[in-house]
Structures are given as C-alpha cells and as structure tokens.
Structure 1
C-alpha cells in the first residue's frame, strides 16, 4: 500500500488530476477512501491543512505545554478519548500491544492548544518499508515509555517476568498516569526505580493521585493490573464491556460532574 501511495503522489506531482487511489474496508463495514490530495485544489467538505498547522504527539505535548495550559476537563477528555480508542483499535494494526502517547497525535497551529486541536486526536502509525522482520529486544532492556523500533514482547513473557496480565491495558494505565501527572513516565522515574514498570506501579500506589483524583487513581490501578473480573483476553466481549463500564463510563461521569 505504501508503494502505491508513493507512486500515486508522484503522478499527482506530475500534474494529473486528483483521483481516488482506492479504499480499505474493515469487517465492520467501515470504508476508508484514500486520495492523493493536491493542496491547491482541496475536495469539497475536506478541511485544508494550512502551512502553519503541525502534528504534535501527546508525549511532546507534555513537554511543550504547561499543565496549566489545559483545564482538568480537557485532560479528562483526552483520557476518555484515548480509552475509547484503545477499545476501538486494540485488535487492529493501527494500535500495537505496546502502544504509548507518542503513538497518538493532535493537529495544532504552532504553539497553541485549542479546543479544536483537542478534538483532532488520532492514531499515528508508521508502516515499515519492505518485508524486514521486527527485531527482538530482551524485555529487561526495554523502556516502555520509549520503545525500541520493532521491539517485540510476548504476552507470556510480560506475564511471567513482570506479572503484566494485559500489555495493552497496562499501557492505558501508564498513559492515564502520564496525563494525570502531566509528565512522561521517564520524567517521573526515580533513581531507585529499576525500570518504568516499577515507576508506574509506584505512582499508582502513591498518596499523590493523578489530577488529585482517587477515582482516576483507581481506574489506573485496574488498567495496570487488568483487574476487571473477566480475565485478561481483551478480544473477549466480557472484558471489553468491563473496561468500557469501569474506565470509559467512569471518565465520562467525572467529566460530567466537573462540567455541571
């Protein structure tokens, strides 16, 4: 697909009219139509991305902007959208098991974080060129906040060595911690923490809950421990429903209370 996109873009640059390259269709009957767009003649109904617009990953957002730049509601809305995205995309190639805030981006205008920008949260996936296989990195050498490119960790190894029942939900817990403290896990790490997993568990158990909310801290703990009462297989409907109820709906309730 990447090769096709590259060839089509070259054709567009050669001056041919805009045309549909093709589409991707999912089992849920969603159809994603792909165009090689010419910025000089945008399609009707399609927002034109201006030259001053850039994408910013959420981990960069934590470094670039002060926590005071966003309200508590804004931070909770980000957390809610991320949790919803995990449920929607965990079984697709768009979201790996070991995902991170750097895999999610916003469209913004230079140094501004606007309400419009917050509504543009999207997944950012890099498709590898060619057919090169992912390299395997020993788990003890992995930094879960800044993953090695192509690193592979099996669910069995995560369970046996670290007691991580579900890597995807563990990463959701980490993301909620980072948003709640408005710092990356690497920045929150102490000298005595042997790895980022210990850092995450220490923060989840500390007396300083993220966003000052014990409710959010409880949600984080459930995600880190996969403590939803329905096993650890996120492909099962029962666990998906429990995560939706105990994470997504709880975040919605927190947002609703704070916006009364």
Structure 2
C-alpha cells in the first residue's frame, strides 16, 4: 500500500481524489509547454489527454452519486479550490456510498497519482527548454532522450488506462445499485448552515422592523417622516445572535442651520430565540448591530433629512448594560429628541454608555449606545462631507459613466443582490415585487467603499404624539429614494407580475442582474415591451456582457429553474437550490476575477 493510499484512508477518499486531479492538471500543463518539440511528444500529449478526460469523467460521475447535482459535481472537478472539497458532509456521504469498497477506491486513485508522478519525472528528464523548441540540435537531443524513455512512457499510459477502467467498473457497480445515501436532494453541511444563517438574519431584521414601527414615537413637529436604512452585509450569526447595521434619519419640515453637528449612535440588539422563557434566558446573546449616524444636512427651500452614515467595521465586543438605570424608549414621548440630547451630552466621553433601549412584544430588546468613542471604526471616518449623499442603484446604473463599471464591481454587486433576496425576501425591507431602486449606497458611484454601504430602506410616517410609549407609525412602501410610503390595495394589485412568473422575488432578482450586466435600466432595455416577462427573456437571449455562466444564473432566476420541488422561497429546498446555483456561482466569479 502506497503512502498516498494510507493518507487517503486516514483522511477519507476525497483528499486522494483531489490530489489525483491536481496531479493530472499539473502534468498536463507541463506537456502543453513542450509538445511542439517533437511529433512523439504530440502523440504522447493526445494519449495523456484522453486518460485525464476519462479520469475526470469518472470522478464527476462518482461525485454525482453523492451530490445528486450535475452542476455542483462539474464545478468541483473544474475548481480544485471549491469549498465542497473541504466539506465533511461530502466525505461522509462518499464513505457511506463506498462502504466496504472505500479501500479499493483509494487504492485505484492512489496508484493513478503515483503513476502521474512517475510520468512527470520522466518529462523532467527530457530537459526541454521552452525557449528553444525550434532548434535542430535541441529537437534531435529531445528525440534521442524520448527514445530512451519511450517504453516507460507507454507503460505509464497503459497503467493509467487500466486504473480508469477499474474506477469505471467500481462506479458502474454503485450506479446500478439502490443508494439510500444520500437523498436525491443531498445537502452539504456548509449549505445547510448558510441557509440557517439567512433565516436567522431574516427573522431578526423582521423583528427589528416591527419594533421600530410600533414602539418609535416622535413629538418633534419638524419631523415629517423617519427613514430606517438596513445594510445588506451581515456577518454570520453566532448562537442565534445577529449583527445588523442601521441608520435612522428624518425628513424635516424646515431647513436646518449649517452648523448642526453629526450625531453618532451605536445600538446593540438582543434577539431572544427559543420555545419558552427558560430557554430565552439561557440564550440571551447580544445581536451586535445597528449603527445610527444621525446627521442633519441643509438644503435650501427643501425638507432636510437627518442623514445617517453606516459603519461597516463595528466592533463586536460584548457589552453589558444595567437596564435598571437605562431609559425605556417605549415610554419616552419623543425618541428622536431623547437620542439627540443624550448623544450631544456624552459626545466627549471616551466610553460607551447605554442611553436607552426598546423592547418588542416578541422577546427582542435593542440597546442604544452613544456616541462611539474616539478610535472606533465609525468615528475614525471623520465627519460627513457633501459627498456622503444617498444614491439609489437605479440612478447610478442610469448614469452614462456607469457603462464603464469595473467587472469585479458588477460581480460583487450581483452577489450582494442574491444574498439580499435570501436574507430579506418578503419582509418590510424587501417585498416580493422589488426593483433596483429599492437599494441605495452612500456615494454617487460604485466603488469598494460605496458597495460596503449598500442598504435597503423603509420609512414610517410621522405619528402625532399621544401617550408615552408612542403610537404605531404608518404603513410603508418604497419611494424613489429607497424610502417607503403608504400602500393601497390598488397599488398592490398593479404591482403583480405576469402569470408566467413562478416566483416574483427571484424574477425581480433576474431583472436586477440583467441591469447590472448591461449597465442599463430595465425600462431602457425593454424598448416599450408591455410584458416584463417576455422582455426579460428577449434581453437574456442576447449577447451576454458578463459571460455564459452569468447568463445561466440570470436564466435560472427568471424561470425559477432550480430543479427544486417547490417554487416558494419560504421552502428550505428552494433556498438551498438558490444558494448552490446562484450565490455560490457568483462567489466563484468574484473569486476568479479577484485572483
């Protein structure tokens, strides 16, 4: 038994297969550099190429028995850095499939790797210089050296063919038997964790919206509307604790003076999950979240919003707060005035101090701290400037200069859109029918910095101050600035899409991905076509600006073509399919262009 096989049996079959694939690739690349030296090397290249293709095909079909997804299997074979190569679940499922034949499989693949290494060493002995392949003397020397090694090369090719035949017989055996491991919709551990994280973030953001809508009160007569902006980038939850970055602003009736300072606030949100109060008490892990950067900017003769700038580098240290000495904001007549006064009073302090909290009826608490002390990521950015304006993605896409968007930024923006749908679909932040103007950034164009500020928006109509605790603020729908306004039944009816659309959220994602790819708004591209469904399919069948892989992702979203048994995004099966066939491929595109 070779050392490779021993390592494979100790770590599992996956490492052995991965090493053989990498060995085939490295040796194949070496042959490509030298095959033009002699005709004998060209024949050898063709023979080795066929052996490699057969081996990769057998490995792909073997992985398909485990994953039940031909696209994922092909991606693993193509990309040796694919995350599934390191996934414990894939290794476990493959071991369960092979059972007593695991050793035989490892032996076959290990011998393949050993033969490839031997083949590669023989190539090295030829001492071929890629800079002098056309010289007569060089070619004569290579031919003489090849004659000496020819029989050994041929023996290696024969061995590789035999090992491929052995692997083929083993794979056919398991293909023809009933295999209960895993189910036809096998899901890896990584995928399952990602979907659970999306669900946790979605629940926490929904609870946050409900709390703000029902508990926020304001008696300031100059405040017409309150805006809440939620950053779409959220770290992975830890123990059901979610970190969300937020900004809150207000439309003003009268312009504000130019000297109004920027007010920074830090809010820690605690979302309690569980079946009963005992479980809730045991799971009180803070949801590090919410950065409120309240700024009152000046615009002559126009309502002046209190613009809030979000911090993407918020520290995640756990903060404890004694609520006995903290103000319950649900009992404050004007939350806006309280937060502004408290923030200004403690602006020179070097430590964080809880200046209030909100509690919802669904076991959630939001602790508000302010301001951030010097040295924190948010304050280190300095005061807001006139360039810190909020711009919708539609306005950015519609700019003539957007046609020169960097390819990496297009992929990154598309990835954030896909993740946003899984995290916030069918919530107050992202309704089932949504558009690109529902998302905004801080800035007027797409850069690395502005992408980190990508956010969704919702707004609450000003409620007349009544009793302490406030009155529920009004309903909301999106406006051109990403804020929201009252929705009527007629508006909701008009927002329905074509009956041919199986999933509205995913169809809208496909539309937005098209806009990102073409750097044009959908209204501009549809050329007056009254049916958005047929217009989208006409556009996607045209030349693909971002390549065929990206176009395939868009097509899946438009048609809800994920091979899942459900077309409801609430269903975990469809969520897993969207993650594996939209989110992960976009991550791969970002990774490839960043390399």
TM over 0.5: yes
Contact 2:476–2:485 (8 Å) recurs in 1 = no
**Cα deviation, residue 112, structure 1:** 5.2
The corresponding residue for 1:203 is: 539
Helix, strand or coil at the partner of 2:442: strand
Equivalent in 152, 156, 159 of residue 492 of structure 2:
152
Please, which of 336, 348, 353 is the counterpart of residue 9 of structure 1?
Answer: 336
Moved more, 54-63 or 87-96: 87-96
Distance 1:46 1:33 in 2: 19
Which residue of structure 2 lines up, in the alignment, with residue 213 of structure 1? 547
CA offset at residue 126 of structure 1?
Answer: 2.6
Answer 1 or 2: which has greater helix percent.
2
Unmatched segments (≥5 aa) in structure 2: 1-211, 219-333, 347-353, 464-472, 478-483
Deviations for 1:1-35, whole angstroms, at most 9, x for unmatched residues? 357253222334567746644347899x9975456
- Is 1:237 matched with 2:572? yes
Unmatched 5+ stretches in structure 1: 136-146
Task: Tell me, in whole angstroms, the C-alpha distance in 2 between the residues paired with 1:207 and 1:26.
Answer: 51
Change (3 A) 1:102 1:33: farther
Cross-structure match for 1:114: 447
> Per-residue displacement from partner, 1:170-191 (whole Å, max 9, x unpaired)?
1100010000111110111214
Superposition pairs of residues 150-229 of structure 1, within 5 angstroms:
150=487, 151-153=491-493, 158=497, 161-191=498-528, 193-204=529-540, 206-209=541-544, 211-229=545-563
Q: How far did residue 70 of structure 1 move? A: 2.8
Q: 1:130-173: CA deviations, max 9, x gaps? A: 676789xxxxxxxxxxx996231499x64xx5211110001100
For residue 570 of structure 2, give the secondary structure of its aligned residue in structure 1: coil
Contact 2:216 2:335 in 1 (8 A): yes
Using the size of structure 2 for normalisation, the TM-score is: 0.36
**Aligned to 1:125, what secondary structure does the other structure show?**
strand
Query: How much does 1:101 deviate?
Result: 1.2
Number of residues paired by the alignment? Answer: 236
Q: CA deviation at 1:93?
A: 2.1
TM-score, length of structure 1 as denominator length:
0.76
CA contact (8 A) 1:104 1:124 kept: yes
d(CA) in 2 for partners of 1:221, 1:24? 43
Q: Which has the higher contact order (CA 8 A, sep 6+)?
A: 1
Looking at structure 1, the residues matched to 361 and 578 of structure 2 have their Cα atoms a distance apart, in angstroms, of 23
Distance in 2 separating the partners of 1:132 and 1:32:
21
- Give the secondary structure class of the aligned counterpart of 1:56: strand
Two-structure CA RMSD over aligned residues (Å): 3.4
How big is each residue's C-alpha offset from its partner over 1:65-107, in whole Å with a ceiling of 9 and x where there is no partner? 6235431011100100110111111143211111111111111
CA gap of 1:229–1:33, structure 2 versus 1, over 3 A, is: farther
CA distance 1:94–1:24, shift in 2 (3 Å): farther
- Give the structure with higher Rg (CA): 2
Q: Contact 1:103/1:125 (CA < 8 Å) preserved in 2?
A: no
The equivalent of 1:47 in structure 2 is 378
Q: How does 1:71-110 map to 2 (within 5 A)?
A: 71-108=406-443
Deviates more, 1:111-120 or 1:238-247: 111-120
CA 68–133 in structure 1, closer or farther in 2 if over 3 Å, else same = closer
